[in-house]
Amino acid sequence: MPVDGAREVSFREHFADRSPSRTITRPVIDEAPVAVEINGIGYAVMMATPTDLEDYALGFCLSEQLIASPAEFLSAHAAPVEAGGWMLRVQLAASGAAPLLERARLRLAEGSCGLCGIESLEQVMRPLSPVTARLEVAPDAMFRATSALREHQVLGRATGAAHAAALCTPDGMIVLVREDVGRHNALDKLLGAAARAGLDASAHFVLLTARCSFELVQKAVIAGVPLLVTISAASTLAVEQAAAHGLGLVTLARKDSLLQS
């Protein structure tokens, strides 16, 4: 069955036990350049999986602090372009777009990079308001979400190459999932989808399949997420910045153990 965000590709499969090789076809995740145009100005080019791009547009604008609330996000339209890739045209209210569009940039950002177009160390470490929401989440709830995540990873199960970001209730129920070839994109898609659905990020925790880097912590803090749980380990800067901004952080969350900072 076709999977949205993937294409069938043929491979020659070889075996260590010297069994006869064979030709197989399997889904491969889509990765394409997505040009983000905001109010008619080229802002960034991201490498992403071209699914849920309207969700991505809203989440990206919130994470970039181009807008203070979803109310300033007017519309988004995604379309493939003949030269290859996608054009994502976003319209923001003038009050939200004007201050930061002055530093509009057109840079190529890999899917593994969450700081595209940042031009100085000061911009990387920009001051952020701390997370004020508090959420009581027992370890059992985190284990419940971690164990259930794979069944929600349609693209990940099919390709073995997609990151997933999940919005979870305090008791560990997964209510929303978005996937992408890039972990930062997956989180932006999730935050945008949650905002479009009217879900309060401060009343949920986020579970990510990725390692925990500083940029993911930054996005969670900006969104007001009280707890970030990641399947893989964290960097020192991620741990330090989470603590400095009141973000609960749990890493190496597996089915049988987890690390709480």
What are the catalytic residues? 113
Q: Are 165 and 207 in contact (CB under 8 A)?
A: yes
**What would the DSSP string read from start to end of 167-193?**
EE-TTS-EEEEEEESSHHHHHHHHHHH
180: left (phi over 0), alpha (psi -120 to 50) or beta: beta
CA contacts within 13 A on the Cβ side of 79? 6
Letter for the amino acid at 79? A
